[in-house]
Structure 1
Amino acid sequence: MLTWLKRNSTDFPPLTCALHEPNGLLAAGGDLSSARLLAAYRHGCFPWFAQGQPILWWSPDPRMVLLPENLHVSKSLRKSLRKNIFEVTFNRCFTQVIQACAAPRGDEEGTWITEDIIQGYSQLHKLGYAHSVEVWQNHELVGGLYGIAMGKLFFGESMFSRVTDASKTGFVTLVQYLKQAGFVLIDCQMHTQHLSSLGASEISRSNFSSYLTRYLDQTTTMNWSSELKRLYDH
């Protein structure tokens, strides 16, 4: 039975209560306040719902993650990186990035990144938890991604790309900086071929929970300043 969250509480049901079908649906309702969103990530779940639906909270099993040391850069992407046709920044224009991620893609209608999602994560950005990666070409924003950093874990939310290899360049740059700063895991939530091609793989929900327990309250040396970032290696 699906749990409906109470407005006056940020508690979530145990992850073992998540449904098998649809995979990982844990709870519904509540709000997108900063307190509830942070509680959700600490608990191991995240919001994902379409316009017109109640807020839905998910904790899929298995969970798609990337260990920084497993980052895979294909030969074609390496070739693209060597051309240095992109510049990458962090936290320079969070609002533009999340709005670009919210734009419909291809033949899709609508988006799960609703105005309420944008407002909720923008507040987390102001509080220093949500971060954006921007990819520039000729001073134009052509790709990027955003997510949440807590302890030594980064929770990826969405990415967009307007030219070939733009989002991949942003992702590779981010992962290299996260690795240098001591991060141990990037949460990718659910399986996609795009993420798999970059080295992400699936782990059990219980294994993912063990990462939360061990690393959520540890510190890192991550520099989220908006200056230009360079790849450590190609």
Structure 2
Amino acid sequence: MISRFNLPSILEGYSQGYFLMADEQGHLGWYSSRQRTLIPLDNRFRYPKSLRRSLNQQTFTPAINRAFEAVCAGCANRDVTWISSDLLEVYRALHRAGWAHSFETWQGDQLAGGILGIVIGGAFIGESMFFNLPNGSKVAMVLLVEHLRRQGFILFDAQLQNPHLARFGSYIIKNQDYRYLLAQAVQLPCTFVVGDKSENPFL
């Protein structure tokens, strides 16, 4: 098992372009890929027209780290998952140290959806997402991109391509190009959580 307390080596792994996953037996290990999927933070980003009503009517309220544990549990709650109990412990340790975050949408007091990610400099490394209510995670994606833009992030790593991400304009780059961009991003002094609870609408 990769020690959940060895945070410097874990952060170094992510900073070098690797990511953690558990295999079918639950053994945790480092992985890489010949290609990486990115969510654009420029004008290439798009979203399904079906979300416009929810966005215009502000059906969901965004928050950061209001329910980190619940987002982790939601992301891991699927028939086939790479998020083992050991990996959940790693996420918790990273969260306590200020590196792992959840970006959420709420409808009243109900958690509608969320995105789990690791933040290093100006890179948001998306680990997983889930929803409890229709469009909950999709709206979270749109609002997260807006937040990352405001904070000066240059990289939103979605790791692996799928049809859902493609609807947001996700694109594939070679691993060599990804690592070059990642090396630039992790050096930026970006802030993901801004202010305190009294003044920050994302808390």
Corresponding position of 1:102: 76
Corresponding position of 2:109: 139
Corresponding position of 2:182: 212
Secondary structure of the structure 1 residue equivalent to 2:22: coil
Corresponding position of 1:23: none
Amino acid in the other structure paired with 2:22: F
Cα separation, partners in 2 of 1:53 and 1:113, compared to 1, 3 Å: closer
Structure 1 unmatched ranges of 5 or more? 1-28
Is the contact between residue 85 and residue 137 of structure 1 (CA under 8 Å) also seen in structure 2?
yes
Q: What do the CA deviations read for 1:141-160 (whole angstroms, capped 9, x no partner)?
A: 12101101111111000000
Corresponding position of 1:65: 38
Aligned to 1:91, which of 65, 68, 71? 65
How many residues are aligned here? 198
Corresponding position of 1:158: 128
Highest relative contact order (Cα 8 Å, sep 6+), 1 or 2? Answer: 2
Aligned to 1:168, which of 114, 129, 138? 138
Secondary structure of the structure 1 residue equivalent to 2:128: strand
Secondary structure of the structure 2 residue equivalent to 1:68: coil
CA distance in 1, matches of 2:2, 2:67: 28
Is the contact between residue 51 and residue 114 of structure 1 (CA under 8 Å) also seen in structure 2?
no
CA distance in 2, matches of 1:57, 1:73: 31
Is the contact between residue 28 and residue 87 of structure 2 (CA under 8 Å) also seen in structure 1?
no
Corresponding position of 1:48: 21
- TM-score, normalization by structure 1: 0.78
- TM-score, normalization by structure 2: 0.90
Farther off after superposition, 133-142 or 213-222: 213-222
Farther off after superposition, 217-226 or 198-207: 217-226
Query: How far 1:96 sits from its partner (Å)?
Result: 1.2
Amino acid in the other structure paired with 1:99: A
Corresponding position of 2:193: 223
CA distance in 1, matches of 2:51, 2:67: 25
Aligned to 1:193, which of 146, 150, 163? 163
Secondary structure of the structure 2 residue equivalent to 1:156: strand
Identity of aligned residues (%): 32
Corresponding position of 2:154: 184
Query: How far 1:215 sits from its partner (Å)?
Result: 2.1
Is the contact between residue 22 and residue 87 of structure 2 (CA under 8 Å) also seen in structure 1?
no
CA distance in 2, matches of 1:58, 1:208: 15
RMSD: 1.9
Query: How far 1:102 sits from its partner (Å)?
Result: 0.9
Secondary structure of the structure 2 residue equivalent to 1:57: strand
